[in-house]
Amino acid sequence: MTSFILRPLHHTDRESIAEQANNWEIAKNLMDRFPHPYSFEHAEKFIQMASNSAPVHIKCIDIAGSAVGCIGIHPMEDIFCRNAELGYWLGQKYWGQGIISNAVAMMVEYGFANFDIDRIFARPFNHNIASQKVLEKNGFKLEAKLSKTIFKKGIYHDEFIYSILKKP
């Protein structure tokens, strides 16, 4: 497998993030706040936002010095404060090598160690089988299938909810 590290984003990652993220094959499985097309300016704004928290919520997947994807852990608020949502994407040319699967394992460990949370969840689209496999491989359990909760570019999709609990 191509080796990678997870590290905080830096403003010099603007070009590589914009290059990898400008891809509908990635955007179609994500929230609309991940724009398409994806400009250098979008990358700049995103990096600024991602650099603005301690501990770091969002890390980039660095292959040979270039940021080619991101993985983030987002703690919830109020009565859901012991939960965090996991999200991720990876540049298409690095798919199918187990990179995201290993990144998820690292981020789950990081999340439970650095945030006051007991549960991490993820919400893949129903058609995103690759993402569901990544979660299952990492011990996430499918908790629910919600019908037509997603409205992406004029089309309804079902949402799957996966979670993993902190080991006591």
Partner 1 sequence: MTKLHSRIATIQDLDALFKISVETFTSSFAHLNDPEDFKAYIEKHKSKETLEIELSGKESTFILFTTEEGQLCAYCKLNVGEGQSDIQDPTSLEIERIYVYDNFQGQGIGVHMLSVCEEIAKSKGLTYIWLGVWEKNLGAIRFYEREGFVAFSTHPFLIGSDVQTDILMKKIIA
Residues engaged in binding partner 1 (CB under 8 A): 12, 14-16, 18-19, 22-24, 37-42
Which residue lies nearer to partner 1 by CB, 38 or 115? 38
Which residue lies nearer to partner 1 by CB, 38 or 121? 38
Q: Least distance (Å) from partner 1 to the CB of residue 23?
A: 7
Q: Least distance (Å) from partner 1 to the CB of residue 69?
A: 16
Which residue lies nearer to partner 1 by CB, 24 or 156? 24
Q: Least distance (Å) from partner 1 to the CB of residue 100?
A: 22
How far from 100 is each of 9, 69, 124, CA to CA, in Å?
17, 9, 14
Q: Least distance (Å) from partner 1 to the CB of residue 143?
A: 36
